[in-house]
Structure 1
Amino acid sequence: MISNKKAAFCTLGCKVNQYETESIKKQLLDLGYNEVNFDDKADVYIVNSCTVTTIADRKTRNMLRRAKKNNPNSLVIATGCYAQTNAEDLEAIEEIDYVIGNSDKSGIIDLINNIDSEKTSERVIHKNIFDAKEYEELEFSTLREMSRAYIKIQDGCNNFCSYCKIPFARGRSRSRKLESILKEAEVLANECFKEIIIIGINLGAYGEDIPGNGDFETLLDKISMIKGIERIRIGSMYPDKISDRFIELMKNNEKLMPHLHISLQSCDDEILKAMNRNYDSHLIKERLLKLKKNVKNIEYTADVIVGFPGEYEINFENTASVIKEIGFSDLHIFQYSDRENTAASKLSNKIDSRTKKTRAAKLEKLKEEMQSSLMVKYMGETMEILVEESKNGNTYGYSKNYIKVEIVDYIGKVNELVEVLISGVENGRLKGGKKIK
């Protein structure tokens, strides 16, 4: 057992990265390390990187340099998606001691334990991610967010969208075995988590690579049968993975929360084709509107890219029109940037920065308009809120359809479910008092 050693962690990017950092952290803490803040002096710094955007790449490099500045004698390790796709770039940064790709994340603890042996003589530990054929189980550790916990069910993606580096960072789609997922869900239920969130890189592809294991809908149905779990959220869905069976499950299973985050990116047929997405605008509208028709008060959030190469004004307007027709409670808007070695980076007809900023601003305005309409929709309604925090005499939490609500003049306990009568709007969120039964 190691004593008096300190470790600090920085996680960039998605919930999958955060989930994996928690596993690494647990193993180090089990060895006797103490966790400190990243800006504190530590013996080991681990940066779990993202490479979705050029901004994420830059943040990764900055955090790694900051780590060595905090303690020049520390061990600085870069891992994650940027470490997988750009290992040579990171190797050139002298502040970094080791670069460990996604393909070798499970070996980080062994590396730290054997730091003085010949086994760790190479600075870059990196295998071809496409050699990974099966899901790699991680040391179990709970990624918590106040009252919620996460379960990773799948890794990798087979879609190869023209703008995206993720298949090169994560490899092909690999599903976790059903029995392992259910075991983790039961542990979370025993720890009294009422709400779990299912995460992965392409959730709808779950089970396609394991014959006889069961598909995504089967998994959701099985998890919902576990006693103690009252809310199940789905991290992200592609429109083409919303099957009729999935719609029926969302309609009839009360444990499945009426909210979906949609990996949308565009709603224009020409741009969707150039992006190598497996659907068109007709499918987007047909699937999402059918789901809205069948599932009461379901709300959508979405990722959207503006300024993709060849996106003329008419293409952008088509996207905005479909978004407005469907209605979204929130949008995550990204301005397109080239990612090296992707098909889109080689396309002509690049969009200038000013146009991208203008279009992003237009979508921000549309988002605000949709959110205002949403607030009015729920006035006078009773919503079940899962408490996240209490401060200044009020309590805050999220509704089933993932709308933040302030419970006025009530101090609730984290993880408590409260019925709230919505009576107003303040600072962009709904507010109301606890309903007296």
Structure 2
Amino acid sequence: MPRVAFTTLGCKVNQFETEVMEGLFKQRGYEILPFDQVADVYVINTCSVTHLGEKKSRQIIRRAIRLNDKAVVAVAGCYAQVSPEEIEAIEGVKVIVGTQDRHRIVDLVEKAASSISPVNVVKNIMNAEHFEDIPLFDTPGRTRAFLKIQEGCTNFCTYCIIPYARGPLRSRPLESIITESEKLIGAGFKEIVLTGIHLGAYGRGMEGNITLVDAVKAVLSRDGLTRLRLGSLESIEISDELITIMQQDDRLCDHLHLPLQAGDDTILKAMNRHYTLAEYRQLINNIKMSIPSIGISTDIIVGFPGETREMFENALQFVEKMNFSRMHIFPYSRRSGTPAAEFSEQISEDEKKYRVNKMQELADRKAVEFQEQFLNKQLDVLFEIENQKDSAIIDGLTGNYIRVYVNGNKNMQGKIYKVLLLKTYQDGLWGEIVQ
């Protein structure tokens, strides 16, 4: 039996796409191995969001070649899409496939095994017209399943390479979403997470004025679904109808990830973000009035070109008032091929490090403040991870994305229990099962 090993860099969408490719190999009789073992094929699903992501991708490619220099090393994903010539120059790479044609990955690998030169099928992603609808042939044993329903982005934020790596907007047909969700529910998954590169744009260009709300309703209509969660969304794409569904159906998790990216209107405009701080604040306030328990997480980039210390201090004040449940803080990464890379007033690395630390301190404090609102209350928790250091502890997530730890065992994995939340603990709360 031929052996294949996978590794994934980057986002949840990449993780889903790796699982799809794993299923394709299993269908053809391949054994899946951990990436650090000697395999006949290595598939590296790469990231290109930052130069660091590309550097890590190259390092992992070379690690695979060292593990077995006779193996077929296949490189897929965003880095392969935007810089195929760089990857082809790495001696030992046999297959280069970007963010299209992954349904052909097994055929390409088997073709490359008998080919002298690398098999490079990367083509212009801007010409892509259809969602690459690959069935999920395998359902890895976890409690949460990611379901990709949308591809591509046309926002062209000035710091971001993703539109050039993923191409125009394409959406998965509703019939396919229903089929895949039924398969995941049948496999025992308790939570489905809808993901996409620009998830809020789901349905654009499809007949019938279809939107993300239609996709949400389609999955919620399936028998046996316990939880549905949404991936990252642009704030301006949150509709009133979506919030109403969240109010009325407890299965749609009361958690939204709405990237802010900057806490200053001048910087938001320079980033080509399509909202103002006032608009963002009003939206969040309205959502919280409708759903007081909701967790709203966000992404923030600090040190964007032209962001003065005063602008940064203003951003700290804005974030302080927003009371996010969780914040992911990133220093601006100068990415060649994007407009912002050529902007003047680039911020020094030392200054960016200072700002990351300051914003992270605030993020940590606000996360604790959000979690402490729920002390001495009961919430449903989907348990998913047995603690590696102490097998008597298991943790999982509430609907509003608080990590909860309790005394338990692996038999609780994949099950939902009502938990009384007692105290802060590690990155979340400690609780006691009451049901």
State the TM-score bracket (shorter-chain normalisation). Answer: over 0.9
Task: Report if aligned partners of 2:403, 2:429 keep a CA contact under 8 Å in 1.
Answer: yes
Matched, 1:27 2:24: yes
Tell me what 1:179 maps to: 175
| Residue 210 of structure 1: how far off its partner (Å) | 0.3
Whole-angstrom CA distance in 2 between matches of 1:299 and 1:116: 49
| Residue 317 of structure 1: how far off its partner (Å) | 2.1
Which string of whole-angstrom CA distances, capped at 9 and with x for unpartnered residues, describes residues 46-82 of structure 1?
A: 1010001111000000000011100111111111100
Task: Report if aligned partners of 1:156, 1:202 keep a CA contact under 8 Å in 2.
Answer: yes
| Residue 178 of structure 1: how far off its partner (Å) | 0.7
| Residue 376 of structure 1: how far off its partner (Å) | 2.3
SS in 2 for 1:401: coil
Tell me what 1:102 maps to: 99
For residues 171 and 411 of structure 1, do their structure 2 counterparts lie closer, same or farther at Cα, with a shift above 3 Å needed?
A: closer
| Residue 388 of structure 1: how far off its partner (Å) | 1.0
Tell me what 1:403 maps to: 402
2:296 to 284, 296, 300: 300
Matched, 1:211 2:211: no
SS in 2 for 1:432: strand
| Residue 428 of structure 1: how far off its partner (Å) | 3.2
Question: TM-score normalized by structure 1?
Answer: 0.95
Q: Match of 1:51, as an amino acid?
A: S
Aligned ranges 1:95-174 → 2 under 5 Å: 95-115=92-112, 121=117, 123-141=119-137, 144=140, 146-174=142-170
| Residue 248 of structure 1: how far off its partner (Å) | 1.9
Tell me what 2:371 maps to: 375
Tell me what 2:222 maps to: 226
| Residue 271 of structure 1: how far off its partner (Å) | 0.5
| Residue 258 of structure 1: how far off its partner (Å) | 0.7
Task: Report if aligned partners of 1:163, 1:339 keep a CA contact under 8 Å in 2.
Answer: yes
SS in 2 for 1:76: strand
Q: Match of 1:333, as an amino acid?
A: I
Q: Match of 2:30, as an amino acid?
A: Y
Q: Match of 2:112, as an amino acid?
A: I
For residues 416 and 92 of structure 1, do their structure 2 counterparts lie closer, same or farther at Cα, with a shift above 3 Å needed?
A: same
For residues 366 and 145 of structure 1, do their structure 2 counterparts lie closer, same or farther at Cα, with a shift above 3 Å needed?
A: farther
The percentage of aligned residue pairs carrying the same residue is: 37
Whole-angstrom CA distance in 1 between matches of 2:200 and 2:54: 27
SS in 1 for 2:297: strand
SS in 2 for 1:236: coil
1:201 to 179, 197, 203: 197
Aligned ranges 1:28-427 → 2 under 5 Å: 28-115=25-112, 121=117, 123-141=119-137, 144=140, 146-212=142-208, 214-390=210-386, 392-408=391-407, 412-427=411-426
Task: Report if aligned partners of 2:112, 2:119 keep a CA contact under 8 Å in 1.
Answer: no
| Residue 105 of structure 1: how far off its partner (Å) | 2.1
Whole-angstrom CA distance in 1 between matches of 2:418 and 2:432: 9
| Residue 412 of structure 1: how far off its partner (Å) | 4.9
Which string of whole-angstrom CA distances, capped at 9 and with x for unpartnered residues, describes residues 330-372 of structure 1?
A: 2111111111111111110100111101110011110121122
Whole-angstrom CA distance in 2 between matches of 1:205 and 1:41: 41
| Residue 122 of structure 1: how far off its partner (Å) | 5.0
For residues 126 and 47 of structure 1, do their structure 2 counterparts lie closer, same or farther at Cα, with a shift above 3 Å needed?
A: same
Task: Report if aligned partners of 2:100, 2:132 keep a CA contact under 8 Å in 1.
Answer: no
SS in 1 for 2:260: strand
| Residue 247 of structure 1: how far off its partner (Å) | 2.2
Report the aligned-residue RMSD: 1.7
For residues 142 and 316 of structure 1, do their structure 2 counterparts lie closer, same or farther at Cα, with a shift above 3 Å needed?
A: farther
| Stretch moving more, 382-391 or 72-81 | 382-391
| Residue 227 of structure 1: how far off its partner (Å) | 1.2
Q: Match of 2:69, as an amino acid?
A: P
For residues 144 and 288 of structure 1, do their structure 2 counterparts lie closer, same or farther at Cα, with a shift above 3 Å needed?
A: farther
For residues 143 and 350 of structure 1, do their structure 2 counterparts lie closer, same or farther at Cα, with a shift above 3 Å needed?
A: farther
| Residue 106 of structure 1: how far off its partner (Å) | 2.3
For residues 353 and 417 of structure 1, do their structure 2 counterparts lie closer, same or farther at Cα, with a shift above 3 Å needed?
A: same
Which string of whole-angstrom CA distances, capped at 9 and with x for unpartnered residues, describes residues 179-222 of structure 1?
A: 11011111112222221100000111000110216210121122
| Stretch moving more, 141-150 or 10-19 | 141-150
For residues 86 and 143 of structure 1, do their structure 2 counterparts lie closer, same or farther at Cα, with a shift above 3 Å needed?
A: farther
Whole-angstrom CA distance in 2 between matches of 1:409 and 1:35: 30
SS in 2 for 1:256: coil
For residues 281 and 158 of structure 1, do their structure 2 counterparts lie closer, same or farther at Cα, with a shift above 3 Å needed?
A: same
1:10 to 7, 10, 24: 7
| Residue 425 of structure 1: how far off its partner (Å) | 1.8
Whole-angstrom CA distance in 2 between matches of 1:294 and 1:72: 58
